[in-house]
A and B are shown apart, each in its own frame.
Chain A
Amino acid sequence: MRIQMLVYCAGLALCFLGTTAARSEDGWAKVIPPPSVDTISAAKLAKVQPGTSTKTEVQALLGAPWRILQFNDCGMSMPGQADESWDYRGRNAKGTYRVHIEFDDSDVARFDDSDVARLVAKIPDRAAGTKGTRAKTAPPDMKVAMKM
């Protein structure tokens, strides 16, 4: 019940932010700020498993994503890159971050029902340096299973 309230409050906060932005004079010139609370608990995030978690399961765990992206053009995904990714935003003591979940890859036929997460990463908005943020991926044998 307490968690539901938290999610509800976070939703209200997002709506409020949107409303505030809608009234800004400069017509959305500013980046919409991320939520002021950490809406994604580590325990929930740990349940998102590359190789097994489906879109339906991810949505049940984390709610609707803040943004869905598909970088591909010319009707195809690029080798090794996702067909679709879901972004969530959050904030913790270290600052703001995004949870980035990728589905499918170029080896999975498009327009099928394959909707299994292939990658999960929690990425600080201000990641330092060029090392990047290590992502959680499916084990190699599970990736093969996904392609089938």
Chain B
Amino acid sequence: MFHIHVPRLAKGFGCSFFLVLGIASQAPAQGPAAAYPPYGSAIPVITNTEHRSGAVGEDTQKMPPPNGPNEESIWNMKVEGFNDNQARPIYQPLIVNQNGREIMYNGNLSGTAMNPLTGVSESNGTSIIDVTNVKRPKFLFHIPGPDPINGSFAAAGAQMVRVCPGSSMPNAAANGIAGKFFLLRAFGNAGANESHQIWDVTEPSAPKFLTTIISGLSNTHKSWWECDTGIAYLVAGSKSDGWQQSGSTQHVYIYDLSNPAKPQFIRQFGLPGQQPTASVATQQPCLNAPSDTCFEGTTNPPGGVHGPISMGTVVNRVYMPYGVGSSGVIQIDDRMKLINGCKATGPGSNPNASPNCQNSPTQADLLWPQVSWVTMNPENGGHSSMPVFNVPIPEAQSNFGDGTPESKSLLFVSSEGTANNCFGQAPHDAWILDIANEQTPWPMATLNVPQFPGNFCGKGARFGAHAVTEQIYPPYYGKIISVSWFNAGVRVWDIRDPKNPKPLAYFIQAPTSNTAASCSTINGVTNCFNATMNDYVEYDDRGFIYAADRAGTGVTILSLTGEARNAILPQSEQ
């Protein structure tokens, strides 16, 4: 199932990991100088706070059933604040500490809505909300998205957001970006001329357009931007670059954005079998017919990448989920080799790189940075792949191996449920993979939300996993994990005993008059429902949890209470 291409890497990884621990122990726990990805490259240290009997030995909490479909349901969480996001449907939220102000950036799905600040109906773009006071969030600005094409909004929207402080970039002073903040956003979703843009958001209530990184794109999607190096992994497709995918047609464009005004192209990247020169008509699966012209996964050509996550320079890994909701592949890449693999000299370089490696790589060029890959079943795709490093295993603190306390590095993977009322598709879950030996990732546990109680397939909209939280908040790191689960809301698990993840908290937003209807046809009858869909859940650097609604209901700001709060406390305070 797994393909190994870079031997001996695990040893290097192990050494660098101790270095990470050393750095992280001195890193600030919060604030704009946070040292963790994507702002830095340190990784928080996780201390074991579980009894050796783990989750199995604890009193099992009984998860309460949700209320009726029109009501809010909440367990071990508290609502701190709310903003309606101008009734725009949110895809990706991101909360950034800008010199003490907590600013929320929401990438919105396409459409239009009235902007009461301007009195104009604006194409959905990027919402900017000051959430410093969570009790009273203040909508500061809406940067419109693209205009419709031929009257259709199918190509519009600006779903994705990343923000970096200029001060954390290399050569910040020389480039005149110290003290500034920059927004990277997708501009359009599926048109023939979509792009990725950079805006100066130093003053978030008055953002200024800076530059277009790349245009002529289609299918822009979820990007990643390393704020300490400037390296950005932009996701998009193009109707003219020749890359080949099934389903969602997108791959990775890597840029150096350390000087945001002057983007520097590095290379394009994707899964073997997607490159422009791949012979889709004849290529066979690498799984059982490996060759120098095969495709990874179960679909030919493989499904597009959803959103890379880089863990920075020290860990030196990039995690890439492909396929989104079906026929997925999870790929682990060596970051240095990924960035420098088209160069002939220097760290990570490939002396055998092909002449067209940057834009039209060979399979060998694509395999150069690949550490390993996991083929998912056809029912599930790769939507999120977020690692958590060195999680203590409670039962293995003294009695296994040589008695040394054992920890595991984990990869949290989710597929995406895409059907309203579950009709026509299998359940979509999230999983914990053991990546302690990263050449051979291995399943450890499933994160599942049962359909009952709650009758989630009957309440309308989508039901199933979507996205794993990506922001690192050290007190939560390795203790809890949050996953957005569409109409089943925000779901939080206790992962201190990762072999036995325990449901710990949830929040399901009640529909309002802003909630968009979700309609589905089952057995020839079409019904429409009012149901919220938690699209993404994200943390800020104070530990507040943001539930963003895909159905236009807004964003709810939450905190942990009860047992969920206890789970993040040191053992002495539990």
Residues in A lying within 8 Å of B, measured CB to CB: 15, 18-19, 21-22, 25-34, 55, 64-85, 87, 89, 96, 98, 100, 102, 104, 110-111, 113, 115, 119, 121, 123, 125-135, 137
Contacts and interface: CB of A to CB of B under 8 A. Distances in A.
A74 B221 contact: yes
A75 B189 contact: yes
B189 A73 contact: yes
B376 interface: no
Main SS of chain A's interface residues? loop
Interface in B113-133: 113-114, 116-117, 119, 121, 129-130
Contacts of B149: 111
Nearest to B138: A27
Interface stretch (B104-112, B274-282, B309-317, B338-346): B104-112
Contacts of B250: 74-75
Contacts of A18: 114, 116, 119
B83 A125 contact: no
Contact of A111 (B154, B324, B460): B154
B152 A74 contact: no
16 contacts: A22-B117, A28-B83, A29-B137, A72-B189, A74-B247, A79-B418, A80-B520, A81-B420, A123-B517, A123-B528, A127-B70, A128-B70, A130-B458, A131-B527, A133-B527, A134-B526
A111 B150 contact: yes
Given A28-B139, A70-B157, A80 B420 contact: yes
Contacts of B76: none
Contacts of B87: 31-32, 67
B151 A115 contact: yes
Interface stretch (B261-269, B405-413, B508-516): B508-516
Contact of B154 (A22, A26, A84): A84
Given A27-B130, A68-B153, A100-B517, A134 B512 contact: no
Contact of B152 (A84, A132, A135): A84
Interface of B: 68-70, 81-84, 86-87, 89, 91, 109-114, 116-117, 119, 121, 129-130, 136-140, 149-157, 159, 189-192, 218-219, 221, 237, 247-250, 304, 306, 324, 418-420, 423-424, 455, 458-460, 511-514, 516-517, 519-521, 525-530, 550-552, 554
Contacts of B511: 125
A85 B517 CA distance: 9
Contact of A83 (B112, B114, B154): B154
Given A32-B116, A110-B190, A111-B149, A26 B136 contact: yes
B513 A98 contact: yes
Residue from B116, B129, B138, B458 with most neighbouring chain A CB atoms (10 Å): B116
